[in-house]
Amino acid sequence: QLQLVESGGGLVQPGGSLRLSCVGSVFTLGDYAIGWFRQAPGREREGVSCISSSGHSTNYAPSVEGRFTISRDNAKNTVYLQMNSLKPEDTAVYYCAAVPLRFGLVPLLASAFDSWGQGTQVTVSS
């Protein structure tokens, strides 16, 4: 079973930046499409971004497009989420998730993903 561990969360001011990392437990993380999701108290878990196994295809939620960038380094079994121009409404626990998919993207829906990390807290506040 694939294990995922997120890191990089913290407290930042509005307009600041954070880079989240998601590290997989297997050498063949390149066989998995990866998604980032977030959940704030009282809210449903929502998709943020996803990336194909090769890194050639990406997708973003409209609320983060232009501010967040997803990328991956399969040699390091790591996927990143660069978060710029952060807003208070970005405050949430951020999760990475994986699904075996050698080619292409999956829908940015939690139900499409099989393996999940434990999450990392991102707080945007002045």
Averaged pLDDT score across all residues of the chain: 94
CB 72 within 8 A of CB 80: yes
Cα 113 to Cα 105: distance, rounded to the nearest angstrom: 11
21-61 residue pLDDT tens? 999 987 678 889 999 999 999 999 999 999 999 999 999 99
Residue type, 93: V
Residue type, 3: Q
57-103 residue pLDDT tens? 999 999 999 999 999 998 899 999 999 999 999 999 999 999 998 87
User: What single string gives the DSSP state of each residue in 54-104?
Assistant: TSS-EEE-TTTBTTEEEEEEGGGTEEEEEE-S--GGG-EEEEEEEEE-SSS
CB 38 within 8 A of CB 110: no
